[in-house]
A and B are shown apart, each in its own frame.
Chain A
């Protein structure tokens, strides 16, 4: 009797333990790979961030955090920091809301040609950088299409040399980013929306809820986990932005649109290499992304 009574909970405990262990085994391959392929090089890079000197003769700097201290006096770095955060604050929210709107529209039951619309809106992120950067530069050039349209619609009084203007250049980068990544994020929203039943929307419609209410009161709460994932990914992507800064504006005019990653790349390979300083700047990016992701997780990942 007593034996039996004791055995049952113990067996359940071992079952739970077994499941717990299975869980760890499921994580193992991915975790090992990440530790091996990312954390190990990251530790090495962190050590480099405490060093200075020629790339092949690095020595620990005095004081150790010298490279980190140096950043505050570096005008180009500070400018790149301001630029990058400007992109982040403006671009990420607009892009994610747009992606949600597209996903909701393209998830509508009665919509025709869904496949074609979805493909079209996804395509920007698959478009080669070469072709889209040439097109964007041409469209936003002084005698380009954008100026022609805006002037003829009387939105602008006279043409703007977008890429040669501190605000214009940033605007072009933000527009390019939204153009390029909205469809990408839409894909995740679409795939997650499949787990939402159409009948919920029908019930809401009967209750008189409009499209916006349906989006904010039904879709967004149900998609919260995936919205969180995309928010973290976009924050990360924008803080590490490189392509657009190099190819659209080359950081100009006068570093007014350069991003942190672009500056880090220049410091590593274009100008006389300073590996220690570049590594230190990289860890500052890590810090920013980590803190922002942490905040996003706190806000969005409540079970």
Chain B
């Protein structure tokens, strides 16, 4: 059975690619993922805001701890020489490259062009096989129109594309007016792939103390449906590699996404919850299903139920919407 797939110009042994998660910080965990069957690894993200905030924190809480109080000249031990988070990231990347045989994809997360080009060049130099760009951006400014938001992505990508040679993958949020068109524009600007979709921390409200809190709930399989729809729509309409991410927990999720047209499937929460061995389970499930259904290669599976392949393409568009709305209609016995 041939499980190979093509992703960002690389041939991968199967479509299972763990997405950016803390697990890639540990070489042991990364090895376990490779052993369990991961075909490539996306590293945890280097966060632009984290780098900046960390620098400020270091100044405030390590280098300038003066209090003026006689008993406490400082509060935290000041290690004179330690690396900044970018150095640590690059070191981690180099270690992963030498420890693993599968491709390693570095991940950058930020919102401004600022130091990105520098970070990206360093990542390429450290041996990254590809770069994933996660534009962590909530377009909350009421004065900014959709075009301006799209331009931000395109400018960032264009800037990076001029300076690095390794393939760039864009991890997108679903919040675009015309996602398909956006993907097309990214393709023109030099992207080699897109991953659908990233998840943001959501503000929540604590009703005990009436304060806002940040929360991130681990994903569930239900969330895969959003990516599935868009991958199905895009499959066959773009030359970009399509990665599906968000909510993948079971072999069934993987199969659905492949059928919709994904080149690779990413997963994170599952690994955090169950560890690297979960990959093996998914792989077995995928193989068993292909065997049962008589598929011999991923190539046969991919896109079989994409929009361009299904009998009624509009099912990926309005039909679901209407159907669901219908099911929430009040019972006829209720006065309304």
A binds B: no
